Chain A
Amino acid sequence: MEGISLEHFLIVGLLVFALGLYTVLTRKNAIGILMGVELILNAANINYIAFARYGGASIDGQVFAIFVIMLAAAEAAIGLAIVLGIYQNFDSIDVEATDSLRY
């Protein structure tokens, strides 16, 4: 499509990544942090697909993107299981409450 170049997609991916990073760094809610991680993963996926399309007419990018999605799912499952475990033990999902390993 004319007018839309690789860079546009990359910029989108960049912005999503930045926002995801911001989320990860600032959120106190454990699930909020996980959502930030999902944003980062999606940003990476956008990059993969964009390069698959514009960078060599190769299908590898999409295959990788599938993998990423799959692993994101796995990771989300585990992460949320952990959050539930934390919730059972600490009675809160505030990450500032889980500082038992503090000096």
Chain B
Amino acid sequence: MPEVSLSVVVFYAFAVLTVGSAAAVAFSSNIVYSAFALMGTLFGVAALYVFLAADFVAAAQVLIYIGGILVLILFAVMLTHRIANIEVSNRSVGRLPAAIVVGGVAGMMGYAVHHTPWPVVASLPDAPSTYAVGNGFLGPYVLPFEFASFVLLSVLIGAIVISRKELKS
């Protein structure tokens, strides 16, 4: 039996988790199933980040994506629950044309990935990256960082404005 490293196996396991959950999101006809499959996908992606020595990003992924966005999505699903049949609440249409288009795009991108001679250089040291990320935020990327805060503020206000009920008077 060829010597297979444990990390490779774990990698493939997480990769399957990610892609499978994504498939569930794509093909499930139950909205709640899709939402939870999304959670699986996000976990898998976080694990892949760990593999890529991006521990801070992984943590941020879990906290924000799963803890924030997913919860939000679930809220939205629940708030719009007046759907006739929860089982068939996530229909999909036009599967064939979409499949063709997607297949084409994916094929093309796959080709690009496979045939491009990626310059592989020395990889990052397996060290906590928080320090470096923080330096990056307050160093070269301080402007986008500050700007992002504005964006979030505006999003906050905007979300409130959009979602409040019109006074029926």
Q: Which residues of A contact B (CB under 8 A)?
A: 1-12, 14-23, 25-29, 31-32, 34-36, 38-39, 42, 45-46, 49-50, 52-57, 59-60, 62-63, 65-67, 69-78, 80-85, 87-88, 91, 93
Contact = CB atoms under 8 A, between A and B. Distances in A.
Interface in B69-113: 69, 72-73, 75-77, 79-80, 82-83, 89-95, 97-99, 101-103, 105-106, 109-110, 113
A42 B31 contact: no
Nearest to B133: A62
Nearest to A93: B80
Highest count of chain B CB atoms <10 Å: which of A20, A63, A69, A81 = A63
Contact of A45 (B45, B92, B121, B124): B45
Contacts of A52: 52, 54, 124
13 contacts: A2-B5, A9-B52, A11-B110, A19-B19, A22-B26, A32-B31, A49-B49, A55-B118, A59-B129, A62-B56, A66-B60, A70-B152, A80-B159
A1 B89 CA distance: 43
Contacts of A62: 54, 56-57, 129, 132-133, 136
The SS class assigned to the A binding surface is: helix
Contacts, number: 240
